[in-house]
Amino acid sequence: MEPIELLGIRVHPVTVAELHRYLADHIHQRRRALVFHANVHALNLAVAHSGFHAALNRADLIFPDGAGVVLGARVLGGCLPGRITYADWLWQLAEFAAQQGFSLFLLGAKPGVAEQAAAKLVAHAPMLRIAGTHHGYFDKFTASAESDAVLQAINTARPDILLVCFGMPQQELWLVQNWERLNAYVGLTGGAALDYISGNLQRGPKWMTDHGFEWLARMIIEPRRLWKRYVLGNPLFLWRVFMQRIGLLCL
């Protein structure tokens, strides 16, 4: 699967089935992989934040999360098979992990939310093994006692898959900085996934989320927090992609 370079970030054209095979291969063969996702916000943020740009390209695989990324690839003459968004995919990941016997550790969100999400996922896939949960409200500096305690909890649990949900860019930076100290085969970053799965964050209607308007639904639900990301960020992303297309984008 040859990646498509979008604003200097390598995005891989994978389907859900291919992504699951990739995860299974690494876990069965006891190989480790960082698997991130890229949406328009991530790519815009990577242009402005060199550390985040480097962290994203540290990933072994990046899958497309959002209609804007699929459109951007098309503008550049590439083809992504479609978006994989956590609010949908995490349910599928739970089924896949349950079938394969893989364990998950859920890290992030406010206290209690990861536990709620875990309960919902186990109700959906009863054979799913949850290795552990922990909230994301701790001191994430590399040498902090709180961060060390979280690392120890994860390493004691020895999950096959670790899902980190702090929001961008913090989740990617924390995972990359600590990856060599973590005892897990696959590291994922999921943004607000635990809030969605637990039911603490509302999602837009299906007619919007399935037809490229999830960004609009999110902005309507959280206008104060997200209006700049979408009203300003979406046109900026398309302009940057166009500039890349004509060879005038300097990264």
Domains of the chain: 13-198 (3.40.50)
Which H/E stretch holds residue 38? strand 33-38
Binned at pLDDT 50, 70 and 90, residue 211 comes out as low
Binned at pLDDT 50, 70 and 90, residue 216 comes out as low
What tokens appear for 132 in the block?
Answer: 């552990």
Q: Is the pLDDT of residue 230 over 80?
A: no
Query: pLDDT value at position 153?
Result: 97
Q: How far is CA 51 from CA 46, 48, 152, 197, in A?
A: 8, 9, 25, 29
* Plot region of 36 (φ>0 → left; ψ -120 to 50 → alpha; else → beta): beta
Query: pLDDT value at position 226?
Result: 75
pLDDT in tens, 171-190: 999 999 999 999 999 999 99
pLDDT in tens, 27-52: 999 999 999 999 999 999 999 999 99
pLDDT in tens, 113-140: 999 999 999 999 999 999 999 999 999 9
- Asked if residue 1 lies in contact with residue 12, where contact means CB atoms within 8 angstroms, the answer is yes
Provide the residue type at 45 as one letter.
L
Provide the residue type at 95 as one letter.
E
Query: pLDDT value at position 231?
Result: 82
Q: How far is CA 203 from CA 30, 162, 213, 221, in A?
A: 36, 24, 11, 8
Tokens 């004509």 identify what position? 246
CA trace torsion 198, 22, 218, 251 (10° rounding)? 140
